[in-house]
């Protein structure tokens, strides 16, 4: 608890890499505090992908990125593994930032088909 507070007081931003994707905080406020009711409810990160493309993402309590925070939807779809087989075709509505779709893609394998849709343009770009 001391380290995040000290980091915020000094204005130090975290940088980290997850599976080749580089994340850099745009401010020093820790994620859990930024999403709290006392703050603005949003945390921004500058993201650079392995192919060189970059973008800014906005984490919110509704827009959750699995690399950065817990995604409750992953627990709720766990029962689905028994419903699909390798090679299945699956339509996912309300996919959010893609964590559920990624898990389902692992279940159906390279010969399956997956269409994932969400109304939030930022989550799916």
Model confidence over 13-62: pLDDT tens digits?
A: 788 899 899 999 998 888 888 888 776 788 999 999 999 999 999 998 88
CA nearest neighbour of 116 among 108, 99, 66: 99
The label of the residue with tokens 């984490």 reads 59
Model confidence over 61-85: pLDDT tens digits?
A: 888 888 888 888 888 888 888 899 9
Most distant CA pair in the chain, distance: 51
Q: Read off φ and ψ for residue 23, nearest 5 degrees.
A: -115, 140
CA nearest neighbour of 63 among 55, 54, 76, 72: 72
The whole-model pTM stands at 0.71
Q: Read off φ and ψ for residue 45, nearest 5 degrees.
A: -135, 140
CA nearest neighbour of 123 among 61, 50, 54, 64: 64
Distance, CA of 116 to CA of 98 (rounded, Å): 8
């Amino acid at each position: 608890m001391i380290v995040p507070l000290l980091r915020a007081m000094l204005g130090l931003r975290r940088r980290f890499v997850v599976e080749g994707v580089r994340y850099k905080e745009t401010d020093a406020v820790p994620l859990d505090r930024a999403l709290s009711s006392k703050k603005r409810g949003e945390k921004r990160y500058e993201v650079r992908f392995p192919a060189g493309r970059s973008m800014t993402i906005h984490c919110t309590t509704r827009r959750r990125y699995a690399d950065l925070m817990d995604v409750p939807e992953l627990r709720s779809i766990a029962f689905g593994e028994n419903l699909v087989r390798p090679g299945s075709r699956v339509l996912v509505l309300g996919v959010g930032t893609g964590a559920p779709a990624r898990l389902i893609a692992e279940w159906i394998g390279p010969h399956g088909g997956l269409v994932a849709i969400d109304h939030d343009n930022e989550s799916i770009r």
